[in-house]
Structure formats: structure tokens, C-alpha cells
Structure 1
Amino acid sequence: MTTLITGARGKVGQGVIARLHSAGHPVRAASARPAELTVPAGVEVFELALDRPETFAAALDGVRQVFLYPEPAGIQELVKAAEAACVEHVVLLSSSSVLGPDAETDPLAGHSLKVERALTASSLTCTFLRPDAFASNSFGWAYAIGRSMPVQLAYPDAQIAPIHPEDIADIAFEALTGDSLTGRSVTLTGPESLTFRDQLAVLSSAIGREIPVERISREAAEQQMSAFMPARMAGSLLDLWAAASHGPAAVADTTDSLLGRPARSYAQWAAENALAFTGS
């Protein structure tokens, strides 16, 4: 049973491909830019661009499962093509933000929510994986840390439970190869609530030197963030972190609760990726 992986250049997509291939499952990697993909020998590579529906049929031919990154552009056409190709199961890498009270108007949540709704309205069996913050979001601090600059934060005491991307890949592999998650919607987090200050202290230990933290105004943070993301998205993130400053983050499902094996800690992620924060 061939499984198609969209967003195959991403860390989670790459992890799912590696797990399926190592376990002997037929797997096909898809990307809008297939020439840029690096996959294990024997993994098929196909073009699939969501703004080009003419690429759908070939990529889905013979496929029975899809691991899908959430992109609302072209999702209605992709659903129809998947149904026509007799796809049986879609595992969507969604987001916990879809559970928020303003999900329909929130620029972060709305992206995934549109995809969830299109799949729910289809005849496909669907599993929704809804991770909260990725541990790898910390790469956003790498430039400052690598140059011994302070990390500037509007809400340094915001609490999240960052999840290791490899845990998401483990859970996605189970969703694609087992039946314990089929048809379910699961919220995923890391095993512990940490403030941004806590995370930076962990990174400090991993690289062996102090990382200064500088609190800045919300307006200054919004200006900085708007340089590399839409202003509405920056505002949404800052609203989220402001709300998260009032208490510990909820710990939801992890590899421990879903797969019966310990969840990877943020400290493990930091140790594995310390070199990215050294400026070398």
C-alpha cells in the first residue's frame, strides 16, 4: 500500500519517509519542487503543486494513504483527486491552533482549519494530528545567540510545551501503519511546560555559555516580527504568547500516552542541535 508524503522537504515529512522506507513500506515523496528533494534510494519522487491541479492525478495514482501538510490552496481539488484515485486514509499534520475560540479568523489557525474542514466533508477516512509549538521554533533565536546578542522577547515568561519533531514523525508513522489513531483527532505537545526563559536556560547549558534575555515592548516585537511574516500573523503570535504568560501550558498527548514510550525532552532537542546556536 503506497503512501504519499506531501511537504516532503520538511523535517517531519523527511522523518516519516525514513521510517516508512526503513520498515519496508512503499513510499512516494511529493513536492512542488521535486528536484530539490533528498530521499532514500528506492523512494519514488513526484511533483505535486497545490496551485497546479494537473499534477495531482499522477502523484496520487496507486496511492492508498496520504500524509498531508496543511495548505488550503487547491485543497478542494486535491480532495476530489484523492477520492477519484481511491485513496483510503489521509493523515493531516494540522495544528492545535484550530481549537482556539477565534480559529476561523485567526491567520495561524485558519490555514489548518480550512484543510480540516475540506477533509471532514469528504468521503476519506482522516486522522488529524494537531501539534502545539515545535521545539525547532527555537531556531528563530539562533542568529542572536550565535553572535552573543541578547534574545529580545516581549513575553519571556510565556509557557509552552514544545514537542520534538521526531516525536511527531513517530506518531505520524503509527497513524499510517497502525489502527490505534485511525479517524482520530489528537492534540500533541512535548512532555513539559517551559517558559521561553526556561528554554533559553536549557540552550545555555547545551552550548556552555550564558544567553542574555532582554524584555522588549510588544510594539517593538511586532515591528521585528513583521519584517519576516505578515503583520496579522505576528500579532496573532504575540496574542498567543501574552495569554500563555498566565500559567503553565497544558500537556496533551505525547509518544508516552499514544505509543507507550518516553517523549523526547526539549533538553534532548537542544543537545542535538547545539551547533546551530554557536555561530560556527
Structure 2
Amino acid sequence: MTVLVTGARGNIGRRVVTRLHAAGQQVRASARDKGTLTVPDGVETVGLDLTAPAGPDGAADGLDGFETALKDVDAVFLYATRGSAAPFLHAAKEAGVRHVVFLSSPASYEAAEFRGPIGRIHRAAEQAVAESGLDHTILYPSWLATNAHRDWGTAIRAGEPVELPYPAAQCVPIHPGDVAEAAVDLLLHDTHRSRMQILTGPESMSLDEAVATVGAVLGRTIPVRAISREDALARREPWLSAPVLESLLDSAAASVGRPAPVTNAVERITGRPARSLREWIGENRGEFENREDFEL
């Protein structure tokens, strides 16, 4: 059987591809531009737009049609899209796909975010998967450890304070490899398939404690500077829309001083305890020390 991994350039998707291939599984990796994919030897690639209307095999503009992408596919790793993936899901059903593992976000149900843009996008995508009639499991990973690099890496490498509007906001960092390993198990085996799996790291901590964890691994103190919500909005990165940042700030404000939920789903699925933020930082410390040759 073949497993189709959509969004194979992504933080989790490419890890899923690597682990499936290492397990000897036939893998087909997809991205809208397959030329941007870096995959292990022997992994097939396809150009796929999940939001394209249903059509004949061999789509225009270098994209492959649904028929090509889904040929002999038994399971699909799926991510959320801003547009509707309903035609793709219908094609997957018609092609005989047996199971879909859908990577969603806790924003689809958490009180501070589910009405925001991230929550709306993921709820709509979940509804499309449910309405397709495909057997599926929804994954809800907690705060990805890679966020530490994305959000704080520049300041840490420069020796500057990490600026946080809500330093006491609680999160549960999860190792991205744990998310990928759980997804691979669900793609290949039916033991833990269910309507949803909430995946978390081993402990809840405040954001300033997470920064301190990075510092402890690096062997230096990383200062944290509390800033106002208004300052955070004013310093918004261009890639992050204002409504999304507003929603993230709402979520952080709601979690100040309140422990984030922790589950044992990673251990139940993979057979070993979830890895800590300290472990992930230790594996990737070069990214915080201005190494240019390291890929997260």
C-alpha cells in the first residue's frame, strides 16, 4: 500500500515522510510545487493542490490531478487548507482510501481561539473530513517546540531579550517528532485509530519558563522583557496577519497562570514517554547558536 503525505514540506509532514520511508513504507509526498520538496531517495513526489476543483488527471500549471496523487493510496496524512478540500476528499473516498490522519489544531475547540481565524479554518476543514465519509482520526498537537525557534530564535542568537506580552501564559511544548511518530502509527495501524487524539508534551510551563529552558541548555541566562499587547501588535511580523495575532494574544491572555492540559496520548500510541522541550532544544541547540547549516 501507499501512504500519501500532503503538505510534505511542513514541519510535521516532512517528518512523517521520513519516518514512513525509514519503516520501509511506500510513500508519496505532495506539495503544491513538488520542486520544493526534499525527500529521501525512493520517495515519489507529486504536485497537488488540495483546493483544486475536481477534474481530469494531469492538472494544469505543473500540478498532478487527484487520480495520480491517489493511485493505490491506502492512507492519507492531511493538513488544513484555507480553501475547501471537499473535492479532494471525495476523490479519496472514490479511490478507496481507508483512513485519513488529519493534522488539526486545538484552536478549533479552545475557548479563546475557536471563534478566531485559526479556529474557523480548522473547524471547517474538520467538517469537510467528517462529511466526506472517510474513516479518519484528528490530531490535536499542543504548542510545538519548534515555536521556540520561530518566535525567539532571532533574539536569542543576537543576545537580546525575548519579548513576551504574556510571560506567564502556560503552554505544553511537544516535540514535533512525537507528533510525526504518532501520525505514522495511525497511518499504518488501526490499534489507536479513533475520532481524535490530543497529543501533548510531558509538562505545562509558562512561556518565560520555556525561555529559561532554552537558556539552561545553552548555558546562559536569556532575559525576558514583558511588553504590552499594543507593542506586540505593533511589532507583528509581516507573515502573520493582524487577526491571527489578535487571536493568539487572546489565547495567551486566557492561559496566564492556568496550567495547560497534559495527556499521555503520545506514550499510549508510540509506546514511549513524550519528549521534553529540554530534549528538543538539546537536539537543536545549533539553531540558537547562529549555525547556518542546520534545518529544523
TM-score grouping bracket, smaller chain normalisation: over 0.9
Matches within 5 A, 1:102-121: 105-121=115-131
Q: Is the 8 A contact 2:208 2:224 kept in 1?
A: yes
Matches within 5 A, 1:114-263: 114-139=124-149, 140-225=151-236, 227-263=238-274
Q: Which residue of 1 aligns with 2:28?
A: 28
Q: Which residue of 2 aligns with 1:10?
A: 10
**Shift of the alpha carbon at 1:102?**
6.4
Worse-matched range after superposition: 264-273 or 12-21:
12-21
Q: Which residue of 2 aligns with 1:271?
A: 282
Counterparts of 2:51 and 2:129, CA distance in 1: 18
Counterparts of 1:9 and 1:228, CA distance in 2: 17
| Residues 102/267 of structure 1: CA separation in 2 closer, same or farther (3 Å cut) | closer
Counterparts of 2:51 and 2:85, CA distance in 1: 9
- Structure 2 portions without partners, runs of 5+: 54-58, 60-64, 292-296
| Residues 253/111 of structure 1: CA separation in 2 closer, same or farther (3 Å cut) | farther
Counterparts of 1:104 and 1:217, CA distance in 2: 23
| Residues 148/251 of structure 1: CA separation in 2 closer, same or farther (3 Å cut) | same
Counterparts of 1:199 and 1:227, CA distance in 2: 25
Counterparts of 1:83 and 1:218, CA distance in 2: 45
Worse-matched range after superposition: 219-228 or 170-179:
219-228
Q: Normalising by the residue count of structure 2, what TM-score does the alignment of the two structures yield?
A: 0.90
Q: Which SS does the other structure have where 1:252 is aligned? A: coil
Q: Which residue of 1 aligns with 2:79?
A: 69
- Find 1:90's aligned residue among 78, 83, 100: 100
**Shift of the alpha carbon at 1:260?**
2.6
**Shift of the alpha carbon at 1:72?**
3.8
Q: Is the 8 A contact 1:2 1:65 kept in 2?
A: yes
**Shift of the alpha carbon at 1:194?**
1.1
Letter in 2 for 1:89: H
Q: Is the 8 A contact 2:16 2:184 kept in 1?
A: yes
Counterparts of 1:222 and 1:190, CA distance in 2: 28
Q: Normalising by the residue count of structure 1, what TM-score does the alignment of the two structures yield?
A: 0.95
Once the two structures are superposed, what CA deviation does each residue of 1:157-200 show, in whole Å capped at 9, x if it has no partner? Answer: 11111110000011001101111222330111110011111111
Q: Is the 8 A contact 1:222 1:238 kept in 2?
A: no
Counterparts of 1:272 and 1:205, CA distance in 2: 14
Q: Is the 8 A contact 2:112 2:250 kept in 1?
A: no
**Shift of the alpha carbon at 1:226?**
5.5
Counterparts of 1:104 and 1:205, CA distance in 2: 34
**Shift of the alpha carbon at 1:246?**
2.7
Letter in 2 for 1:134: L
Q: Which residue of 1 aligns with 2:66?
A: 56
Counterparts of 1:103 and 1:198, CA distance in 2: 23
**Shift of the alpha carbon at 1:70?**
1.1
**Shift of the alpha carbon at 1:10?**
1.5
Counterparts of 1:146 and 1:93, CA distance in 2: 31
Q: Point out the structure with the larger helix share.
A: 1
| Residues 237/38 of structure 1: CA separation in 2 closer, same or farther (3 Å cut) | same
Worse-matched range after superposition: 95-104 or 35-44:
95-104
Once the two structures are superposed, what CA deviation does each residue of 1:99-140 show, in whole Å capped at 9, x if it has no partner? Answer: 224665311111111111011112210111111210111111
Query: Percent of aligned pairs with the same residue?
Result: 40
Q: Is the 8 A contact 1:4 1:27 kept in 2?
A: yes
Q: How many residues align?
A: 280
Counterparts of 1:121 and 1:103, CA distance in 2: 23
| Residues 238/102 of structure 1: CA separation in 2 closer, same or farther (3 Å cut) | closer
